[in-house]
Amino acid sequence: MKLLLSNDDGIFAPGIRALANRLAEAGHQVTVVCPDRERSATGHGLTLFDPIRAERVESLFEPTVQAWACSGTPSDCIKLALGALLDQPPDFVLSGINQGSNLGTDILYSGTVSAAMEGVIEGIPSLAFSLASFTVQEFTPAAQFAEDLLAQLAKSPLPEAMLLNVNVPALPAAELAGVAITRQGIRRYHDVFQKRIDPRGKTYYWLAGEVLEDVEDLSNEPYQNFLTDVEAIRKNLITVTPLKYNLTYAAGLEALDSWPTVSISLQQS
């Protein structure tokens, strides 16, 4: 299969090398277009007022992998690849393997998920992979799962273009408890801005804080029989969460449709 890979940790991150090399060794045609530096938590940002540059990268990956380092965001990377660098669209867009999980509401900020979502916007099924640790750098189980998941999708294609957001516990393969199809949970943070003074006496702020994971989620009542991704990762399960870019709240449509008609008076000035 033809695969387009990106990430938000940058072209030199070990996670993208583990994923690209594994898939290239499995016989896939792999193209990598990644930010030239760390771009975590950029969400779905695009570069509109500066030029985007892309340079070929040699020697970082397996010889069959074609790779570019891009000056833009993760979403820029996918847009540039699809619009200028590739001769044909890929069969899949993959993003990761990210250093750190992307669970619950983290996905709204995640450059990793946004890169994959850019593929879905273009009608290409996409996968985002994250390792649930900011320190462990053993990406082999996650890369192996990515290879296995692609093989499964080749046999049983997705019914429509969607994003599968995958989080893998940072454990040896033998200690993983299995795979769970999950729904998106809620992961809120207690934000703290640390006030600091730079060497020139200027004030700046550093975002810190603690994650609040134990938040009850009642927003998906028809799917309460599915674990949330936050719950499943605690049980040492690999989580696979289907996502779409359409954020319409279906129950909200029904609730608003029952409102009495609201008339708006427009007065000409």
> Which structural domain range is residue 170 located in?
2-185+220-255
pLDDT value at residue 80 = 97
Residue 242 bridge partners (DSSP): 164
Q: CB count, 10 Å around CB of 210?
A: 9
Residue 265 lies in a domain: no
Three-state SS at 228: strand
Residue 132 lies in a domain: yes
Residue 204 lies in a domain: no
CATH number of domain containing 62: 3.40.1210.10
Q: Report how many helices (DSSP H) and strands (DSSP E) the chain contains, helices first.
A: 6, 11
Tens-of-pLDDT digits for all 269 residues of the chain?
999 999 999 999 999 999 999 999 999 999 999 999 999 878 888 889 999 999 999 999 999 999 999 999 999 999 999 999 999 999 999 999 999 999 998 999 999 999 999 999 999 999 999 999 999 999 999 999 999 999 999 999 998 989 999 999 999 999 999 999 999 998 776 667 788 898 998 998 877 766 665 555 555 567 788 999 999 999 999 999 999 999 888 878 888 888 776 666 666 65
- pTM of the full predicted structure? 0.89
How many structural domains are present in the chain? 1
Three-state SS at 119: helix
